[in-house]
Amino acid sequence: MITLFLTTFLCVSIWGDSTTDQERCQREADYMAANRIFEHTHKTIGRYEGIGWGRTDYPTTCEPQKWKGYQLTGDATAVTDDGITVRVRSWR
């Protein structure tokens, strides 16, 4: 019960009033960069979510298998204070 509450609270506080996967990806990337979190932070955006980080403009992320037929619905980046780019992508 407590875990469900914390997970729900974290999703609402990070995503705010975001309604699209793109907006959610951007909010999550911003949150991860601001807090130097280099792992999944909570509930998956869409049906599949990939994250990546590195000292490049577009770090690679995990991707769903092609046979699943998912379409990319969000792709966002944010940069930490020391120049590490965080990338969050989602598919449905």
- Concatenated DSSP letters for the chain? -HHHHHHHHHHHHHHTT--SHHHHHHHHHHHHHHHT--S--SSPSBSEEEEEEESSSS-------GGG---EEEEEEEE-TTS-EEEEEEE-
Q: What is the mean pLDDT of residues 72-88?
A: 98
Residue 63 CA to residue 47 CA, distance in Å, equals 11
Comparing 17 with 58, the larger pLDDT belongs to: 58
Is 60 exceeded by the pLDDT of residue 59? yes
Mind listing the pLDDT tens digit for each residue in 8-41? 445 557 888 888 999 999 999 999 999 999 999 9
Rounded (5°) CA angle 59-84-39: 70
Express each pLDDT in 64-76 by its tens digit: 999 999 999 999 9
Task: Please tell me the predicted confidence (pLDDT) of residue 50.
Answer: 97
Domain boundaries, the chain: 2-91
